[in-house]
Amino acid sequence: MYQEKQDHIKMASISASISHKVLILPHIIKHIPKRPVLAEELEIYAFDLDHTLIQPKSGGRFSRTADDWCFMCYSDGENKPESTQNAFSTRNTLDKLCNLIKDNPKAQIVVFSNQGGVITVPPTSKSCLRYTGKIDQILKEISLRDTPTVNISNRVWIYASPKKPSSLFSKKSSNRGRVAKLRTSKDTLSSAPISPEVFDHMRKPNVGMYEEFRKDFQQSVSFKCYCGDAAGRKKDFSDSDKVFARNLGVEFVLPELFFKLNSQL
């Protein structure tokens, strides 16, 4: 059964979106449905975020602002920004995800994203606000597809691994880590020890983000596949998505295959 748990690390909780709770810790950012839609047997479809589900509208590798994004479109193994595609010949990633949810009442969408440019200490940093603002916009777009009979947004979970902030750790830091002070939504300061290794464990291809999801989502699931663009090909910056799927013991699928028009996944 789904439940929200607090461990020894104090969370900064911000109810920034209507459908989701935003939980900001030094080592992870979570967007968790406030009212998750559950079934007896659930199927997990997991995805990378950048250059898998979305990409910058500006055409760069990284988003410049919270508004610099668009859902990607795939056709015959190729992808382009949403605005350059013919709507009658292609579907964007949001269309595919919405159809997946509508057609499969057991499906849950889970996003695992490395966000090496985002710093969560403090959680009000420009990079953190830019990222959470972008996710709020994405979730708003998804919620526009909700219907009285099918709630799509409450079946989407998003986890991000932020940058390890140098301000938390000195060269002489012990394995126990230093004490991080976070300002919570109640505007009070709390202290919690955290080690550098925690940040590394959260970053793909390590499985820390998935372990956090399982803490939040304590229900029996069938993991169908993980889809991401970092597959170790010549054009790819790494193979972290492919290795992440291997470490989870699940099928790895390229986005060009998952989202192409005739895909039956």
pLDDT one-digit tens code per residue, 142-196: 999 999 989 999 999 999 999 998 877 755 544 444 444 444 333 333 445 688 8
pLDDT at site 166: 82
Contacts of 53-61 with C-beta under 8 Å, sequence gap 24+, read 53/93, 53/97, 53/111, 53/255, 54/93, 54/138, 55/79, 55/81, 57/81, 57/83
Consecutive H or E run containing 252: strand 252-253
Q: Is residue 3 part of a domain?
A: no
Whether pLDDT at 84 is above 90:
no
CA distance 78 to 30: 30
Q: Of 16-25, 78-87, 128-137, which range is least confident?
A: 78-87
Q: Give the residue among 56, 53, 70, 71 at the shortest CA–CA distance from 226.
A: 53
Contacts of 52-55 with C-beta under 8 Å, sequence gap 24+, read 52/93, 52/227, 52/228, 52/229, 52/241, 52/255, 53/93, 53/97, 53/111, 53/255, 54/93, 54/138, 55/79, 55/81
Q: Is residue 6 part of a domain?
A: no
Contacts of 227-236 with C-beta under 8 Å, sequence gap 24+, read 227/45, 227/46, 227/47, 227/48, 227/52, 227/252, 227/253, 227/254, 227/255, 227/258, 228/47, 228/48, 228/52, 228/252, 228/255, 229/48, 229/51, 229/52, 229/254, 229/255, 230/48
Q: Of 72-86, 98-112, 215-229, which range is least confident?
A: 72-86
Please give the average per-residue pLDDT across 47-65, as a whole number. 93
pLDDT at site 12: 39
Please give the average per-residue pLDDT across 17-22, as a whole number. 85
Q: Is residue 140 part of a domain?
A: yes
With a CB cutoff of 8 Å and minimum separation 6, the contacts of 178 are 168, 169, 170, 193, 194
Q: How confident is the model at residue 39 (pLDDT cuts 50, 70, 90)?
A: confident
Q: Which one has a higher pLDDT value, 181 or 253?
A: 253
Q: Of 3-12, 102-111, 149-158, which range is least confident?
A: 3-12
Instruction: Write the pLDDT tens digit of every residue in 207-230.
Output: 999 999 999 998 889 999 999 999
The total number of structural domains that make up the chain: 1
Q: Is residue 241 part of a domain?
A: yes
CATH assignment at residue 183? 3.40.50.1000
Q: Which one has a higher pLDDT value, 137 or 2?
A: 137
Q: Is residue 243 part of a domain?
A: yes
Q: Is residue 263 part of a domain?
A: no
Whether pLDDT at 7 is above 90:
no
Please give the average per-residue pLDDT across 23-37, as a whole number. 95
Question: Containing domain of residue 149, as a range?
Answer: 12-258
Q: Is residue 87 part of a domain?
A: yes
Q: Is residue 265 part of a domain?
A: no
SS3 172: coil
Q: Which one has a higher pLDDT value, 111 or 150?
A: 111
